[in-house]
Chain A
Amino acid sequence: MASGENQSSSDNQPRRWHHIRKLLERSGPFCHPDFEPSPEILDFIMDSCKVLIVGAGGLGCELLKDLALMGFKKLHVVDMDTIELSNLNRQFLFRKNDIGLSKAKCAVEFVNKRVPGCEAVAHHCPIQDLDEGFYRQFHIVVCGLDSIVARRWLNGMLMSLLQYNDDRSLDQSSVIPLVDGGTEGFKGNARVILPGMSACIECTLDLYPPQKTFPLCTIANTPRLPEHCIEYVKVIQWAKENPWGNNTALDGDDPQHVAWVFEKAQDRAVKHGISNVTYRLTQGVLKNIIPAVASTNAAIAACCATEVFKLASSCCVNMNNYMVMNMADGVYTYTFNAEKRPDCVACSNSTRIVEIEPDATLQMIYDKLCEDPVFMMKSPGITTVINGRNKTLYMSSIKSIEERTRDNLKKKITDLGLYNGADILVADVTTPNTITIKLKFLENQDVEMAR
């Protein structure tokens, strides 16, 4: 085979890309079956392939650098956050002078300057502010977020872009692959999602560890750990003493607020003989801080960048499809095939069904939406259509509507006009789209009693 020294048309420094051109212009025994080596692949990567990087934090900075050095130029970065001092131990595109500035803008500016030809574009806003048209323009989306809710929302967005043919088969051209990475301390994971084809974020919600919470009665009556003391001040004492007046909300980023909580928590700890309430722990509990270090982020982001490169070039098959990594005891990784749920709320093109007792209250549906592992919603808003008219059954996100609909929670669903086979429309922060769910009444209990 020719070694491929033809100059790539679009780059004036062909030797710069000498390394990756070997992979793109030569065939190998382990290539993707569709792979045809050619200099045009690098042209595609450089001139056409649009990649969206979601998050410009620990993973995002790394992803931007990795992809720019792999030839990608049409990069977009979205992040609503601004730079803080505690980011600088790993978010290597930022300096002390940058504190307070937009992460997305700073990161993009730095990389465009360092890597000639890179044309990255920054979006300093929440991902929810960008619409379908925006997301539809990308070939690949790679995500390095620390928020599960935002990740689920993004997943829902990409799923909503899927189109189906008349025979209900998936229109492949509507699929935008999602590469997702996450880290926590010395642990991390990376995965490749082909929307509609392989397991999505919602298919594998059970892989996220449940958030650690302390029962209220422990915090109030039988504190044992320093965390219990801090939680007490946060949950009970702050509201009661209202230290800043005007019902000022507790802000974990305000050092004076943290200091106040720290002091009160210490008082409580001393009173109960509990030791080890520290400022660092107070901050950690208040802000739910996840430990983070440069090395883990570098490794996970690099793994994601490799997968983006494979998707864009087909020069190698993608990972199948989920890798977990633990760097606490040696360096351990495990790659497995996370399975697609046939009844997934987000990625299965089928009607969602909720089974419920005919005499259930609306509260029971609400709880099911929050607790059922298939939904795991945060604050679902529930509406329905009765006689062709929209009716809001319950919605907590808008205060006036919450007050008006609160009583509905106690009512029987049949009294609210719902029936076996009725559709409810559910909106939640975890998804960009309203989800239609069909109610299915469980067999009448009469049958049970008759036995």
Chain B
Amino acid sequence: MASPSPKSPEQSEKTKQYDRQLRLWGDHGQSALEHGHICLINATALGTEILKSIVLPGVGAITIVDDKAVSDEDIGSNFFLECSSKDLNRGTEALRLLLELNPAVRGHAVQEPTDQILRENPDFFKAFSVVIATSLGEKTIQDLAQHLWNINVPLILCRSVGFLGSFRIQMKEHAVIETHPDNEQTDLRLDAPFQSLADYLDSFDIDNVDLKDHGHIPWIVIIYKAVQKWQASNQNRWPMSRKEKNEVKSIIGEFIRRDENDVPINEENFEEAIRAVNTALMPTYLPVKSQELLYCSAATNLTKDSTPFWIMCSALRGFVEGEGKGKLPVKGVLPDMTASTDHYIKLQNLYRTQAAMDAEIVYRKVQQIVAQLHCDNISEADVKLFCRHAHDLHLISGSSIASEYQLTSSVASYIARHLEEPDVMMVHYVLLRAAEMFASEHCRAPGDWEPESDSAKLKACVTKLLSDVSCAPFPKDDHVHEMCRYGGAEVHSVSAFLGGCVAHEAIKIVTKQYKPVNNTFIYDAASTNTATFTF
């Protein structure tokens, strides 16, 4: 049988291979990822588990910095080392096996200690989109963190000990335009319809259409008409309270046609209208978070070094204060609703057209700013995307790891507050820090060989940290004993869990989509609990 063989739109190998993830971050997200270059310091099990989930989706390049030789313990817990790797350079071996996962990814291995690179070639780190570090000592952590803070390269610092794990993201500033909220709010403007929408809504006469058309009227129109009717007897106010919204609902109920026995006919669009009243009547306003962004100094004091994000924020402020009359550009998205195709498409086009017009105004303002500042142009597509997501912009203003390690007063009181709650996840954080302190003093993990005798020494570290944050010692030594039991062991599944999470956060940072953790994540595999702290 001859096949109808239509012209098959060519899908590239790459599109097919990445299909399942392209549905999450799109072709533009993929392109950003392919321009990313990730540096891993120390190819521990945790380190290679992180890189695995960054190499598979196709990051541009990876660089592994590791000066250590492969040990039996490494082979036992690290999937990207094999028996023949024994005594060879750990980074080089791990790189070889990681690159097998995806031939599109480029890779390099650097067999120098991190301290030496920081001393002799600090510019080395400028090339990276994100630096990820595992298994570093206290001193190196602070030097590396300070340097990366200065040169503005994001750092993710990771730990995996026994059933505990953590990571800390250090970034000066990270702006997310596409946050992909789970429940995005609709932007229908029923309280302030733009002209073409008002004209369209007014053109309906609910009472005088035949029954079939009646069942095809979009609920937006129904609610608008009901509100108008309500306003006629309420001094043209906008219904706000629950009682007022219920009154609107009963007006909608009265719109529903009845059969010859006076029984209401089942009209899905009117049922939908009643269900939509609460959300659709939310007044259009400038979200507080957007307002803060538009009026923060980075947006009001532009320089030629300002990032496109701040330039667009500035242009957006111009729009809000001018043409937008206090409101953001229309999103241009219409939720699905029972309606005839004609009604729905017409309505959808009205919103889309208005969104395009609003974005066009913002784009012109961007062009003016760019011309004044003599900086790089921003594409119209970028401005459109920015306007589409203007309601959900997200900015992370980070803090330095240096201030966390120095336990500045705000960090100290933050830790103390959580300890007093009491929040056991903050106890884990203190133990992880104490274990790090122990390692720098004794050159081994607490409990590496002698859990009993190390307990007292680790407790001394805990006590020191607690007194630095003005907290009383822990009433029991449970957590100290547990940390000594771990003896610095790296449990593969704990590292694999964190590996997935850290890779995920690195991808968010590189693609600038979805909100990353801000800024510290603690994982307790024993109780299957996690927590996020913001230092």
Q: What's the interface size class on A, roughly? A: 35 or more
Q: Which residue of A lies closest to B22 (CB)?
A: A280
Q: Which residue of A lies closest to B52 (CB)?
A: A92
Q: How far is the CA of A17 from the CA of B489 in the complex (A)?
A: 10
Q: How far is the CA of A103 from the CA of B79 in the complex (A)?
A: 19
Tell me if A210 counts as interface (CB < 8 A to partner B): no
Total CB contacts across the A-B interface at under 8 A? 270
> B11, B17, B492, B529 — which one has the most chain A CB atoms within 10 A of its CB?
B492
Q: Which residues of B contact A115 (CB under 8 A)?
A: 79
Q: How far is the CA of A186 from the CA of B216 in the complex (A)?
A: 37
Tell me if B423 counts as interface (CB < 8 A to partner A): no
Given contacts A29-B481, A89-B57, A331-B530, contact A70 B492 (CB under 8 A): yes
Q: How far is the CA of A90 from the CA of B21 in the complex (A)?
A: 9
Q: Which residue of B lies closest to A304 (CB)?
A: B493
Given contacts A89-B20, A296-B500, contact A319 B528 (CB under 8 A): yes
Contact B341 A89 (CB under 8 A): no
Contact A301 B496 (CB under 8 A): yes
B positions within 8 Å CB-CB of A:
1, 3-9, 11, 13, 16-24, 45, 49, 52-53, 56-58, 71-73, 75-79, 82-83, 100-102, 162-163, 179-182, 216, 336-341, 344-345, 348-349, 447, 449-452, 478, 481-482, 485-487, 489-497, 499-501, 503-505, 507, 514-518, 521, 525-530, 532
Contact A331 B1 (CB under 8 A): no
The digit string for A134-171, where 1 denotes a CB below 8 A from any CB of B, is 00000000000000000000000000000000000000
A positions within 8 Å CB-CB of B:
1, 3, 13, 15-20, 22-23, 26-30, 62, 65-66, 69-70, 85-86, 88-90, 92, 95, 114-116, 185-186, 218, 222-225, 243-246, 255-256, 259-260, 262-263, 272-274, 279-280, 283-284, 289-303, 305-307, 309, 316-317, 319, 323, 326-333, 335
Q: Which residues of B contact A263 (CB under 8 A)?
A: 6-7
Instruction: Give the Cβ gap from A11 to chain B, nearest Cβ, in Å.
Output: 10
User: In the complex, which of the residues B4, B24, B493, B528 contacts A185, with contact meaning CB atoms closer than 8 Å?
Assistant: B24
Contact B451 A3 (CB under 8 A): yes
Q: Assuming A22-B485, A273-B341, A295-B503, what are 16 further A-B pairs, CB within 8 angstroms?
A: A16-B72, A17-B76, A18-B72, A23-B486, A26-B451, A69-B492, A85-B16, A243-B3, A244-B3, A256-B6, A295-B504, A296-B504, A298-B503, A299-B500, A329-B181, A331-B521
Q: Which 8 A-B pairs have the closest CB atoms?
A: A298-B500, A299-B500, A16-B76, A302-B496, A302-B497, A295-B504, A15-B72, A319-B528
Contact A292 B21 (CB under 8 A): yes
Contact A256 B8 (CB under 8 A): yes
Contact B487 A22 (CB under 8 A): yes
Contact B23 A15 (CB under 8 A): no
Contact A289 B82 (CB under 8 A): no
**A-B CB contact pairs (8 Å), 28 listed:** A3-B449, A15-B72, A18-B489, A19-B492, A28-B482, A62-B496, A66-B496, A70-B492, A70-B493, A85-B17, A222-B341, A255-B11, A256-B8, A260-B4, A262-B9, A272-B341, A273-B341, A273-B349, A274-B341, A294-B52, A299-B499, A299-B501, A302-B496, A303-B528, A306-B528, A328-B180, A332-B532, A333-B529
Instruction: Give the Cβ gap from A305 to chain B, nearest Cβ, in Å.
Output: 4
Instruction: Give the Cβ gap from A203 to chain B, nearest Cβ, in Å.
Output: 19
Contact A316 B526 (CB under 8 A): yes
Q: Which residues of A contact B24 (CB under 8 A)?
A: 185-186, 291, 293
Q: How far is the CA of A86 from the CA of B180 in the complex (A)?
A: 23
Q: How far is the CA of A283 from the CA of B9 in the complex (A)?
A: 12
Contact A294 B56 (CB under 8 A): yes
User: In the complex, which of the residues A28, A298, A302 contacts B485, with contact meaning CB atoms closer than 8 Å?
Assistant: A28
Q: How far is the CA of A224 from the CA of B340 in the complex (A)?
A: 8
> A243, A272, A298, A305 — which one has the most chain B CB atoms within 10 A of its CB?
A298
Contact B485 A27 (CB under 8 A): yes
> A13, A30, A293, A309 — which one has the most chain B CB atoms within 10 A of its CB?
A293
Contact B1 A246 (CB under 8 A): yes
Q: Which residues of A contact B3 (CB under 8 A)?
A: 243-244, 256
Q: Which residues of B contact A69 (CB under 8 A)?
A: 45, 76-79, 492
Instruction: Give the Cβ gap from A238 to chain B, nearest Cβ, in Å.
Output: 11
Q: Which residues of A contact B517 (CB under 8 A)?
A: 330-331
User: In the complex, which of the residues A3, A16, A65 contacts B79, with contact meaning CB atoms closer than 8 Å?
Assistant: A65
Q: Which residue of B lies closest to A283 (CB)?
A: B19
Contact B494 A302 (CB under 8 A): yes
Instruction: Give the Cβ gap from A246 to chain B, nearest Cβ, in Å.
Output: 6
Contact B452 A18 (CB under 8 A): no
Contact A28 B493 (CB under 8 A): no
Q: Which residue of B lies closest to A261 (CB)?
A: B6
Contact A13 B7 (CB under 8 A): no
Given contacts A62-B496, A222-B339, A316-B163, contact A298 B49 (CB under 8 A): yes
